[in-house]
Amino acid sequence: MTHPHDHLAQKITHALQDHDADILIATLHDAHLIRGSRAQLTSNLRPILTAALRDHINLLHPPPDFHSWLTRIVATNIKGTPSRPNTRNSRVIALRTLYRALRQLNLITGDPLLDYVSLPAERRDDPLPTAADLDRLLHAARQDPALHAALLLLWHHALQLSDLLRLRWPAYTPTDGTLLRGELITHLTPQAEAALTRLHHRAGHHPLYPDTHGSTDHLRIFPYDTPDALRLRLRQVTRDLNLPFTPPGLIRRCALRDHPSTAHQLGYTRDKDYQKALKHAQQIAARDR
């Protein structure tokens, strides 16, 4: 007799083989393996499934050039017009949601989008949260060392969310409080350094015991598999403490306003770009006031 879980996996596999976004999303939604708007998820996923059928892409076993293929697909609307950055990211988020459900069904073991870099979201006209708002959020997040450290790196050093999630412990040098971010070495603020050191100790590193040095080198710093996982954890903390939800992207945009130290501290390789961004941040701050 077929186990209900196996029957569900078979149904999902057939829907993937048929590239049927409607059945795929409806089945996963009914099984409580995905949440959110069925119509929106289906709409965002359909262009990817249609292109996969056309290009003979197996989404269960993607080819080596899958990321570059996906970037091309999400960048174009059905009518051939370029899609907006937020639309592209919404399509990728829908695919991430699908892959998360497929892992729960044991149809895949890894995450084909683990290192995929999404586009920055389009700028929003919403007012940025105040420094006082962010201080309250950080205080609330202290109960979660990983979230607390992540928020400090976003706010104090403007790390891109995708870069933050890829960080591994060898990028952090506790002896001088620096973090390797791409081609730059950033000296962390005292608060960010303390939060990262706290997290490092919890991961197994202890400065007084040499046998623990290097024991964390194979580990990622943060436990979030996707940007959505970090957003979800942030949402849970703010909801539980009745605080307004502030997306990571908005927190990152506050770095130039509240911590305008040097170009390298905020991830800029050219001072010219940093000064331009700083001027823009100051204009937004003045407008919000």
| Ranges of each domain in the chain | 4-104, 131-288
CB 141 within 8 Å of CB 188: no
Residue 38 has pLDDT above 50, yes or no: yes
pTM exceeding 0.75: no
Residue 103 has pLDDT above 70, yes or no: yes
Mean pLDDT of the residues in the chain = 83
Residue 82 has pLDDT above 60, yes or no: yes
pLDDT the model gives residue 284: 54
pLDDT the model gives residue 253: 84
pLDDT the model gives residue 6: 78
What is the C-alpha separation between 230 and 221, in angstroms, rounded?
Answer: 13
Architecture of the domain spanning 131-288 = Orthogonal Bundle (1.10)
- With tokens 């849970």, the residue in question is 236
Give the residue from 44, 149, 129, 154 showing the smallest Cα distance to 94: 44
Residue 4 has pLDDT above 50, yes or no: no
- List pLDDT tens digits, range 241-276: 778 888 898 898 888 787 766 655 666 656 656 566
Proportion of the chain above pLDDT 70, given as a percent = 81
Residue 285 has pLDDT above 80, yes or no: no
Least confident stretch, 5-14, 229-238, 273-282: 273-282
- List pLDDT tens digits, range 138-191: 999 999 999 999 999 999 988 888 889 889 999 998 888 999 887 788 889 999
Proportion of the chain above pLDDT 90, given as a percent = 40
pLDDT band at 1 (very low <50, low <70, confident <90, very high): very low
- List pLDDT tens digits, range 117-143: 776 665 555 578 888 889 999 999 999
Q: Which two three-digit tokens encode residue 70?
A: 């996906």
Neighbouring CB atoms inside 10 A of 108's CB total: 17
pLDDT the model gives residue 212: 60
> Residue 4 class from Cβ within 10 Å (0-12 exposed, 13-18 middle, 19+ buried)?
exposed
pLDDT band at 222 (very low <50, low <70, confident <90, very high): very high
What is the C-alpha separation between 204 and 218, in angstroms, rounded?
Answer: 12
pLDDT the model gives residue 276: 63
Q: Which two three-digit tokens encode residue 86?
A: 């937020």
The most distant pair of C-alpha atoms in the chain lies apart, rounded to whole Å, by: 67
